[in-house]
Amino acid sequence: MAHVLRMPGVAANDTEAVLAEWIVQVGADFAGSDVLATVETDKAAVDIEADDAGVVLHTLVPPGAQVEIGSPIAVLGAPGEQVDDLDALLAELGVAEATDPVVPERRDVPTDPESGAPLAEPSAPAVEERAPTVVEEGAPAPVSKPNNGRIFASPLARKIAKDAGIPVEEIHGSGPRGRILRRDVDAAVAARADQPTTPLVEQRAPASVAETPTTPLVEQRAPASVAETPAPTKQPPPTTEAAYTDTPHSRMRRAVANRLQESKREAPHFYLRASLRVDKLIALRAELNDGATTRVSLNDLVVKAVAAAHERVPEMNVVWTAEATRAFSTSDIAVAVATDRGLLTPVVRDVGSLSVTALAARVADLAARAREGKLKQDELEGGSMSVTNLGMYGVEEFAAIINPPHAAILAVGAAREEAVVEDGQLVVGQVMRVTLSVDHRPVDGVVAAKWLAAFSDLVEHPLRILA
């Protein structure tokens, strides 16, 4: 039996989300647990899975639309179900009513013109009469007048246009009935970025010509400069700005920026640093990887050592809340992963209970799905500490910003050969520098120092990590 699929609440406190992509198209069958669509939140792209087998009868929201939580996004049916009268079905399900102000903007999504708003047809001639003047300005909006002068654009397109400072009236819509889509706004932003230098050249050139009547005075006073007077008109116009391209902020980039800004503003950071001998840690990794199918990285061993240090100093396994300091019974550690869409920090649950190889497999899986945008929301929440590693880029040492609501983040540098003193003798050893950033609200300096000492001991005696 046909039923409505609504936008799920994929993240706490969210009131809306972006329907990024339909995976199953209209008329296609799907099985239980199949992914129907991908929804974009501030942190990741989350899959909407089907509860049972069925068929997609109709989609109510186009890709890229920003939708309120709980709003209808599609009509699903039982396997093999077909619909003869779609309008009647929509009316029966209560999704064809125009009471919701978002519906009129989405009714024009179907490609069949007859399924759109009926008021669009009578006003078409009036739009055509006004079009010539608008077309010359490069911003036609042919369907912006049907409904009391309203411009049809997806909410996401409107938001991006507003952030870029471009009125939607100046953007040409390429969607059904001239609807303005995200790609139209992106094209307008790119076009505007290419324009600034051209009009400046054209406007300044006439001004320099207008100044030429003053040259007779120059000829009377300074004949030697007469030959120089034509030069200004032939010189290229001065360039005061370098060429640039503006990339509109994505939801994830804004979320990361806001979260880190909040962290530096709200959490009083303090920093502890240590230089660790990792010769034995590197040797242990080589032994673990010898003939193994699952490869263990140095970072995997570092994450394992973080969990072991939490067991030794449980006062570090906490977060700050408005009412209390919350202590955890398991060590859930977040691992920073760089993706094309921004930085993500998936959380590995109960690291202390995992073997090193199981931990390596779990981290590899989370990192792969983070880069593909396939993480679930609960995989991005929780934990008390993050681990971020830039050693693979040759970075020796750096300090990181705490990822709220965590109490700390460990920044790991590269393992490098350095001269070290061992038993009074100067020898070459593998050294790795780490920086621990700590939130001073739930964690005192002494607690952080004890934790870093425990962590250093585990790294320099790595067999204790496996115990």
**Would you please indicate which residues are annotated as catalytic (active-site) residues?**
440
Measured CA to CA, the distance from residue 44 to residue 24 in angstroms comes to 20
Q: Which residues contact 193 (CB under 8 A, 6 or more apart)?
A: 244, 245, 246
Phi (first) and psi of residue 377, to 5 degrees:
-60, -40
What element of type H or E holds 265?
A: helix 251-266
Measured CA to CA, the distance from residue 275 to residue 264 in angstroms comes to 25
Measured CA to CA, the distance from residue 56 to residue 278 in angstroms comes to 56
Judge whether 75 and 5 are in contact, CB under 8 Å.
Answer: yes
Judge whether 141 and 24 are in contact, CB under 8 Å.
Answer: no
Kindly state the tokens that stand for 107.
């009714």
User: What is the side-by-side order of every strand in the sheet holding 385-389?
Assistant: 269-277, 425-439, 408-422, 385-389, 333-335, 347-348
Burial environment of residue 115 by CB neighbours within 10 A (0 to 12, 13 to 18, 19 or more): middle
Measured CA to CA, the distance from residue 20 to residue 447 in angstroms comes to 44
Phi (first) and psi of residue 216, to 5 degrees:
-55, -40
